[in-house]
A and B are shown apart, each in its own frame.
Chain A
Amino acid sequence: MTYALDIEGLTKNYSDGFQALKGIDLHVREGDFFALLGPNGAGKSTTLGIVSSLVNKSGGKVRVFGHDIDTDLSSAKLSLGVVPQEFNFNQFEKVEDIVTTQAGYYGIPLKTARVSAEKYLKKLGLWDKRNTPARMLSGGMKRRLMIARALVHEPRLLILDEPTAGVDIELRRSMWQFLEEMNRQGTTIILTTHYLEEAEALCRNIAIIDHGEIIRHTSKRELLQQLSVETFVLDTEQPLEKAPELTAFKASLDDDGALEVEVAKGQGLNALFIELENLGIRVLSMRTKANRLEELFVRMVEENAREAEKASEVTA
């Protein structure tokens, strides 16, 4: 099977001896919407940097739609669009020039490049700013400019490193819609994000990387099924002075006095509401405390850290 991105045994050792990647394997199917998650310094950006030729690998294999970056780098790059974490365009260039120049690097003649640039700048709400120097754009506009630039050569695989960092909620939602539309049209998308609700909302498959190792590589559904307890926050009609004693659920009050209830997998919410009703507590609204993926992510990273600590104790 040909993967959009196929990574085998990828390693990265820096000259100071730091091993950023310890032989990771990663397989992303064509058409997938894939999230690569991990804490800061886990190796996400290094991995994506190697795939996009910004970082030299120390070992292992990387193939983009079957094109090995060691032997067929040009074809691999033609299939790839990259949206980096940091702004990396000439701040003094005009918006349209930045996009058409990028198209030129892919061998697209200016006339065709202008058509493609217009299409994506319009889709991303930047067409009115096409003659504006990039430094005059807001942070959100700069992020969208980098997406337009990455798409101008119509790549089959789009890599986004923290695409919505520092973007307000409204804009983030509109970027999600845009990316979902791109994915529906056949573009494979890989993103890293700190907003785990983003990964939960958009992605079908997820890998979690920590300390240069992939600690989980599975579908979102399978991952979420592992969540055994979910915490709900309930706003009650009358403020509670202390958490009620519930028979089947563990309850507590948060700092704002809202009622938090842990609901185990398989437990029905009806039973909870019946108990609360019997205690005379009326619930006005309810929400999950944190998004589910976030709970899992935190737990997995913590478990991984504990295991690493144990391993180091044994070795010591």
Chain B
Amino acid sequence: MTPQALWTAFTTIVTREVRRFTRIWPQTLLPPAVTMTLYFIIFGNLIGSRIGEMGGYDYMQFIVPGLIMMAVITNSYSNVVSSFFSMKFQRSIEELLVSPVPNWTILAGYVAGGMARGLSIGLIVTLLSLAFTQLSIHNLLMVVITVILTSALFSLGGFINAMLATKFDDISIVPTFVLTPLTYLGGVFYSIDMLPSFWQGVSMANPILYMVNGFRFGILGVSDVNPFVSLGMILVFIVLLAAVALRMLARGKGIRH
């Protein structure tokens, strides 16, 4: 395929993905907006006003970056895992398999689709947060790079999950039992400085902690970890997961007999 044809194939996949999640917006765009608004009201306003400051900021200001990141992570992941698994389930994945689209373009298309939803939700949650607090950006470049790379990373994770999944239960196991606990324990609602030293050490093994803190550094200028270490970790995980996903596609894991 020529570079132009590859670009057409890539944009076709992305367009179809965007068409899918916007068509079912009550299932994809609305719920995170409602959930995050509840977080802002309950944790930020009601409980947060009694907690006082954290990391030198109002509790509401402290949790906003983490909540935006949480929404980006879960939506990037769930967009790819549910879309790709549905295609496997309906066998419409065969439309792609019979076509000359190379595996890396298929992967790039799905990841871009996941990022489109993750970042759209991130923007929606950011706009909603402005109704509750004021956000001043400490380092715009850091904010943009961290959120884009994190979205790409979890889109890749969703893709691998969908490749491995054989039934609908399999696509909810990782988000429920891995992603949600790691996100909640990843410093969204608290600074790890509050934890005993043992649990601080344990928290450092949680990759989501680095992403949340990298993003928080971009917005507030405070972080529990070195933000450049955060970026480095995200990049390493992206390369690793992309390699795994491409290997699975080449072998036809779960999609070819």
A contacts, CB < 8 Å to B: 14, 49, 52-56, 73-75, 77-78, 80, 82, 84, 86-92, 97, 101-102, 104-109, 149
Contact A54 B12 (CB under 8 A): no
Q: Is the interface of A mostly helix, strand, loop or mixed?
A: loop
Which B residues are in CB contact (< 8 Å) with A108? Answer: 5, 8
Q: B1 within 8 Å of A by Cβ?
A: yes
Judged by a CB distance under 8 angstroms, whether B23 is at the interface is: yes
CA distance A74 to B16 in the complex (A): 22
Binary contact track B1-19/A, C-beta < 8 Å → 1, others 0: 1101110110111011001
Task: Give residues of chain B (225-257) contacting chain A, Cβ–Cβ below 8 Å.
Answer: 252, 256-257
Contact digits for B101-112, partner A, Cβ 8 Å, 1 yes 0 no: 110000000000
The answer to the question of B98 belonging to the interface, with a C-beta cut-off of 8 Å to chain A, is yes
B2 lies within 8 A of A107 (CB): yes
Q: Top 8 nearest A-B pairs by Cβ distance?
A: A107-B5, A104-B12, A105-B99, A88-B91, A77-B100, A74-B100, A90-B92, A55-B257
Knowing A101-B12, A107-B1, A107-B5, say if A53 contacts B97 (CB, 8 Å).
Answer: yes
Q: How far is the CB of B106 from chain A (nearest CB, A)?
A: 9
Whether B94 contacts A84 by the Cβ 8 Å rule is yes
Residues from chain B with Cβ under 8 Å of A56 in the complex: 252, 256-257
Given A56-B256, A108-B8, A90 and B87 touching (CB < 8 A)? Answer: yes
The interface of chain B, by Cβ under 8 A from chain A, is 1-2, 4-6, 8-9, 11-13, 15-16, 19, 23, 86-87, 90-92, 94-102, 252, 256-257
Cα A14 to Cα B12 with chains together (Å): 34
Partner of B8, one of A14, A86, A107: A107
Q: Can you name 7 A-B pairs with beta carbons within 8 Å?
A: A53-B256, A82-B94, A88-B92, A90-B86, A90-B92, A101-B16, A105-B96
B77 CB to nearest A CB, Å = 21
- Known: A56-B256, A105-B12; 10 extra A-B contacts, CB below 8 A, are A14-B257, A53-B256, A54-B257, A84-B94, A88-B94, A101-B15, A104-B13, A105-B13, A107-B5, A107-B9
A54 and B1 in contact, given A107-B6, A107-B9, A108-B8 (Cβ under 8 angstroms)? no
Q: Is the interface of B mostly helix, strand, loop or mixed?
A: helix
Q: By the criterion CB–CB under 8 Å, are B256 and A55 in contact? A: yes
Residues of A within 8 A of B23 (CB): 92
A-B contact count (CB 8 A): 85
Q: Give the docked Cα–Cα distance between A89 and B90 (Å).
A: 7
**Interchain nearest-CB distance for A123 vs B (Å):** 20
Q: Which of A73, A92, A102 contacts B95 (CB 8 A)?
A: A102
Closest residue to A81 on the B side, CB-wise?
B98
Contact present for A82 and B92 (CB under 8 Å): no
A222 to chain B, nearest CB (A): 32
Q: Return B116 CB to nearest CB of chain A, in Å.
A: 16
Assembly CA distance A55 to B19 (angstroms): 29
Given contacts A49-B257, A107-B1, contact A89 B8 (CB under 8 A): no
User: Are A54 and B90 in contact, CB atoms less than 8 angstroms apart?
Assistant: no
A-chain residues with CB within 8 Å of residue B98 when the two chains form the complex? 52-54, 77, 80, 82
The residue that A88 contacts in the complex, of B6, B15, B86, B95, with Cβ under 8 A, is B95
- Closest CB in chain A relative to B22 CB, distance in Å: 13
Q: In the complex the two chains form, is B2's CB within 8 Å of A90's CB? A: no
Bound form: Cα–Cα A92–B82 in Å: 14
Closest to B87 in A: A90
Contact of A74 with B9 at beta-carbon distance under 8 Å, contacts A84-B94, A89-B92 already known: no
Q: Is there an interface contact between B99 and A106, defined as CB atoms closer than 8 Å?
A: yes
Q: Which residues of A contact B87 (CB under 8 A)?
A: 90
Report whether A106 and B256 are in contact in the complex, using a CB–CB cutoff of 8 Å: no
Q: For B90, what are the chain A residues with a Cβ–Cβ distance below 8 Å?
A: 88-91
Q: How far is the CA of A49 from the CA of B98 in the complex (A)?
A: 9
Residues from chain B with a CB closer than 8 A to the CB of A87 are 91
Would you give the shortest CB distance from B178 to chain A, in whole angstroms?
Answer: 28
- Rounded to whole angstroms, the CA-CA distance of A118 and B99 in the bound complex is 20
Nearest chain A CB to B175 CB, angstrom units: 22
Chain A residue contacts of B16, Cβ below 8 A: 97, 101
Across the interface, which residues of A come within 8 angstroms of B8, CB to CB?
104, 107-109
On whether A89 and B95 interact (CB within 8 A), knowing A55-B257, A56-B256, A104-B11, the answer reads yes
Central interface residue in A104, A107, A108, A109, by most chain B CB within 10 Å: A107
Q: Inside 8 A of A55's CB, which chain B residues have their CB?
A: 256-257
Contact between B257 and A105 (Cβ–Cβ < 8 Å)?
no
B236 to chain A, nearest CB (A): 31
Residues of chain A lying within 8 A (CB to CB) of residue B11: 104
Q: Which of A54, A90, A91 contacts B97 (CB 8 A)?
A: A54
Which of B2, B16, B100 has the most chain A CB atoms inside 10 A of its CB?
A: B100
With the chains together, A107 CA to B100 CA distance in Å? 9
